[in-house]
Structure 1
Amino acid sequence: MTPDSQRLQITAASPDPALLDLPWHIPLEDWPAETLAALPRGISRHVVRFARMSGRVVAIKEIGETVAYREYELLRQLSRIDVPSVEPVGVITGRRSPDGEPLEAVLITEHLQFSLPYRSLFSQSLRPDTATRLIDALAVLLVRLHLAGFYWGDVSLSNTLFRRDAETFAAYLVDAETGDLHDRLTQGQREYDLEVARVNIIGELMDLQAGEFLEDDVDAVAIGDALAERYRDLWRALTETESFGYGERWRVQARIDRLNDLGFDVGELDITTDVGGTTVLIQPKVVDAGHHSRRLMRLTGLDVQENQARRLLNDLDEYRAATDRQREDEAFVAHDWLTEVFEPAVRGVPKDLRKKLEPAQIFHELLDHRWFLSQQQNRDVPMKETVKSYVRDILPQRPDEQSILGVQAGDLRDTDMIPRVEDDQILG
């Protein structure tokens, strides 16, 4: 049997003809190196490979046909409701080897650019609070999933990818295999997901300690417990009913402001008073994540992570004050900031170096570098000087896809630094 004689069935929302060029007649673990993209490896239950296709990189996971179709549909649903997760490309079935042996179906997703599995983040010497920041990101992701009615079923660091977001991380779901989408989750479902997460994370951190990727004095149990605490604090802030006196109506706006500070928008509030009109109850009805990123998108068209957006908006506010334009329409000021500040700064970085970091992350680091230079030189260093210094002294030292904490992705590729269990992790 030749590759051309296979009866492949391709299910994809936007089929790419380049899919037919990949060697589907070969078991995934035996794919030739010229087809593959070398990216940081993690742990997976399944055989997973990164492949180049039409100038992009996709992740391909061998999995049972029924499970592949189910996960594909779940990822499509999560994408439609704007939950941070990998984008599904399609499912391919009907694969056979040259001698006619059936091969497993595959699920294909887009590779999440500028992201790394957690093991890559711990493979070199990192800041002591790395684990805490990863846990914070995972807690936010879990809350967002639960608010959307998604029951994960297998929450873990291994099933998550992390992307830099200013000085923090943003977490993305990469394995929906055990998940399920409901109109609303029960408290029991949420608590079960949370307990699974806590136990899995403790085990993963202990495994890192055994592999000498994490210091022995790090309390894995305390970090696992911190996830549950962070989750419950955030869930209460987003969903609990607040009661206050009728004369304290200012607390309605204070509640909204607090939720905005957490990065969430309030679409509707349920406000009721008691019979005597002396007590007010307030509860958010619709809560959506991405308050700052949506505001920045509306003002400038920039599509960035939440904390990056917060940082860029702060710089926009400083620009507005410095140019004495507080009373002007914010949209006009934002346009001028984009064309006079943001775009010239990013364009000041040579094209061959821009692929190392996302533009918003480059600008965030430029702001940090400008502050450092200004402190060092005891003067307000202009952005043009800052860009020259950053391009000369900082950015060239960073490999492509380097994390903000100094992980050198190039050092992680095709090495034995990370235990190999049927290879790459991008989908779990």
Structure 2
Amino acid sequence: MDTAEARRSPVLLLAVWALTRLVLLLFVLKVWTFPGPDVTSDVSVIYQGWYDTLRSGSFPHDDVTWQYPPAGALAILSPALLPFLDYAHAFAVLACLADLAVLCLLRYAGTRPGRTPRGAWVWVVGVALLGPTVYARYDVMVTAVAVAALLAGLRRPRVLGALVGLGALLKVWPVLLLAGVARRRVWLSAAATAGSLALLFALTAPGAFAFLTAQRDRGTEVESLGALVFHVARHFGWEGRVLLNYGSVEFLGPHVDLVSSGALFLSVIGFGWLLLWRVSAGRLPARALTDAAFVAVLLFTVTSRVISPQYLVWLVGLAAVCLCFRDSRMTLPGHLVLGACLATVLEFPVFFANVVASDGLGITLLLVRNGLLVLATVTAALQLWRGTVSQPLPTVPPQATRSQETLSSS
């Protein structure tokens, strides 16, 4: 890349980000109307209701839709930082700032030796494809913490642990970033951070851990992989129902518990594979550690009984981190996730009524979206195995091992 092109690249990246995010904000702020159901009601109704409860010093433990670890309260309370705006507008602005923070982290990471700015482009394109839902959920804030953890942790392992501990208390899934980490001090840093915050919340606010039992009676969410069974079964006389349950639209009725148990079994199988991979792989380069985090979250997502649209924000962020490495093996899975983002915005919110009705269009969109996620998961897992087990790292002299320290040996 010549000097002129190097100068143009960040300018073009920022221009595309600014234009696409302006469009998202215009939709979220309802200057323009996005097709389908209103995606901002979670913020203006549910989040704001939690905000009022949290400000009183208690968690909304009597509300079954509160299903988040205690640090999630920090995201819900964050609009208080902008008291000159109403709650919904302040939340959208903060979500946009979190989006910008991820872009800056990825762009900076892309300038390091052996890196590339394509990770930043994956983030810009992926979030734009997902539409206004990104700014109407707090997942973009959690993803910012996860991206910062992986990028900072490449050189500062204890920072990785601390940020993972924080992320786990924001929304649990960031603990999966440790899938490829072997060093004890990273795990200790994560445990110390999570434990300290958990104790603080437990001592200062009632109901901090009510979320642990809040999902006990959930059904199978209509966008999940398992839900495809019932979408098809409805055309053959299945007698279940589609209802708003625990904050999402779910299938309830005969055999739902069986399919939900099947999803849990697949999760166990997936994490069993991760364990087998970890004991089979040797010393890992930094690239493989980010790849492992991506694979772990993919496995969690596709086997979950809930695949909400905002889950794709996590995958886009982790795919972007992987693709910051010039020699990343996750190029195909990352592009498959981008394709799934486009299918996701079509199934929710644009044609969500068709999904709920289980008609031909709705089922087709879910088959495409979930099929892309499954394909991304399988190809990513295969690439991770081939790159670290089938083709292990060459033996290097002890001096090189010490001078080229990676996260797994930090």
Taking structure 1 as the reference length, the TM-score comes to: 0.22
Larger gyration radius, structure 1 or structure 2 = 1
Taking structure 2 as the reference length, the TM-score comes to: 0.23
Instruction: Judging by fraction of residues, say which structure has more helix.
Output: 2
